Amino acid sequence: MSNLQIIEEALQLTPQDKFLVVDALLKSLDEPDEKLDTVWEEESEKRLQTYKNGKINTIAFEEVFD
């Protein structure tokens, strides 16, 4: 079954059933991804070290939200 067929069938559901489908899909997107978490952990450590070593220019919080 193609994505288009799934969508066409889903559009025929009752509002309550559409809600159940949408809710299940959204929950499935919210599952943690350990590989992605590891990549971001390494990147954040790299950025922190770059900051601590004075190798980047920073902008004060207040300036960003002015």
pLDDT at 24 over 90: yes
pLDDT tens-digit series, residues 32-56: 889 999 999 999 999 999 999 999 9
The band of 30, judged by pLDDT with boundaries at 50, 70 and 90, is confident
- Please, are residues 50 and 56 in contact by the beta-carbon 8 Å criterion? yes
Q: How far apart are CA 64 and CA 66, in angstroms?
A: 6
pTM: 0.49
Contacts of 58 (CB under 8 A, 6+ apart): 51
Positive or negative: CA dihedral 45, 47, 51, 53: positive
